[in-house]
Amino acid sequence: MIDTAETDVLILGAGGAGLCAALHAADASPKLRVTVVVKGLLGRAGCTRMVQGGYNAVLTEPDSLEAHLLDTLAGGGFINDQELVWTLVTEAPRRALELEWRYGCLFDRTREGRIHQKPFAGQSHDRTIHKGDLTGIEIMNRLAEQTQARPNITGLEECRAVELLRDDAGRAAGALVLDIRTGRFIAVAARVTLLATGGGPTMYRVIACSADKAADGIALAYRAGLSLRDMEMVQFHPTGLVIPGSLMTGALLEEGLRGAGGHLKNGLGERFMERYDPERMERSTRDLVARAAFLEVAEGRGSPNGGVWIDVSHLGAEVVEKNFRGMVKRCRDFGRDLARGPVEVGPTTHFMMGGVVIDTTCRTAIEGLFAAGEDTGGVHGANRLGGNGVAESTVFGGIAGDVMAEAAPGRPLPRITSASLEAAVRRLTAPLARAATGDLYDLQRGLREVMWEKVGLVRDARELTGALDAIERIAERLEGVGVPGGPAFNLAWQDWLNLESQTTAARLIALSALARRESRGAHFRRDFPAGAPGPLVSVRVQERAGVPAVWEEPVALTRATPKGAVAASSMVEIGD
């Protein structure tokens, strides 16, 4: 039996994008019923809470909106959607002030009382707003408090969206939701729906993102027939902790350490960034620094446990302990003293720059379906600058909330047919009906290993082709895997559902990586080395007749053009 529910605005995900959308929609009209579906607990799940570094916004001169635009485009290899980037940089200052004045966030201040902005890599000005090195906790705590204070917002905690629903005309109709606690399905009919589950590349072996992520939004969008862009662009952060034998390997030491003057050294004690970016050194972009660390290890110059060293001790223990309390504590939990000596770090899988194609109002190609945050592509291009992630989520989440609040009253509540629901439930509950096998976690480990080794920081056609074959075999074997127990709070079943989403996203990443025959940003092909980038194109992928279609579309240079349209780091000309 499938339970039913109705709402005006359905929000799938409760990170920065989802909660900002909920607040904006609820405040636009107190009569609107707003329902937020969250895989964990409201305000306690997802990746926004894990943000250490900060929030990019232009607040004072000599910084400018144009400078933020150009930094983001240069960092993204100029394959960004420039209108989305312009929306980000123009709205971020207003949203940052809204977070303080309307929702109660308290960001760090200078002695003069201004919001403090610190340096981050790849940026021409100090523009990263922060709350120490625990910015995400501050933002999420305040957003969650505000959400709970609004009577027209309802949270469905420990629930996950498992299928996007459509009406007879093909318009968005809501979502099929699984209550993890009870194992029951709920068909939630909605006038408008937001996809904001947060990507999360957890299909890799070493990760920095929240472990509750499984790229569910990407899989939902793909099955719904939406076009996705630049899925090959997966960000590897250069400084994840290296803790042998611990699942905490990959946990971030944020970019502010490098921005403050931290040094990266290889196993020989050399500041190896001199070889890769002698001008910016450790303040180079994440893609370049992560790849440099990877190559140092690959060429035999790594630290004892296969990483490199980050050292901020020369800044002084008092300075480090005052400004980076969260990271100092995290390191001490594992017997490392960040304030007084070097700490072993290495690249860790962090963020998905690719995702659903949207316009500047967060609309997708499906009427009534919106998307925001890490489920979307186009803002960051080939590489995300630190501090642009939480800005993107809150900016576009707020926009989506405003637009949905305006659109919802004009749309009738859709009718959902039981036949489509029953077919989806049969597919999703199939593992419960099969005899339990021991393959699930072997397949999970296999996918993570394949993605790390063959679709990681350095790629080529042979390895990508091999990865696709391996992913297909994993997906086929998954179809025969059974899980023990009933549907209520069955963690094995939840992991099966996670792995289904992860294999879908992994396939799209590998296919897109094979299609992009150049090196750009986070996507490095050893068979198409850097220095000879191809034309400025977006790689698109979409489900057609049960198989993925992959093609390229030229990037629209609506606001800035790299001179010669060759290198992402070249000087640019500003459009009108």
Q: What is the Cα 488 distance to its own chain's centre?
A: 29
Per the document, the length of the chain is 576
β-partners of residue 236 are 349
CA dist 228 and 139 (Å) reads: 29
Q: Please, which residues have CB within 8 angstroms of residue 336's CB and are 6 or more apart in sequence?
A: 241, 343, 344
| Closest to 163 (Cα-Cα) out of 441, 457, 501, 442 | 501
Spatial contact of 215 and 203, defined as CB atoms under 8 Å apart: yes
Choose the catalytic residue: 49, 95, 191, 237.
237
Distance CA 126, CA 261 (A): 13
Question: CA distances (Å), 515 to each of 291, 416, 508, 510, in order?
Answer: 21, 38, 11, 9
Reply yes or no on whether 380 is catalytic.
no
Identity of residue 194: L
Instruction: Report d(CA 17, CA 31) in Å as an integer.
Output: 21
**DSSP conformational letter for 313:** G
The bridge status of strand 355-356 relative to strand 228-229 is antiparallel
First and final CA of the chain: distance in angstroms?
57
Residue tagged active-site, from 68, 258, 384, 520: 258
The token pair at 52 is: 């250490």
Alpha helices in 440-529 (DSSP H): 440-454, 461-478, 491-515
DSSP classification of residue 373:
G
Helices (H), 256-385: 256-259, 286-298, 317-323, 325-332
Give the DSSP letter of residue 120.
-
Note if 116 is an active site residue.
no
At residue 488, what is the residue type? A
Indicate which residues carry an active-site annotation: 237, 258
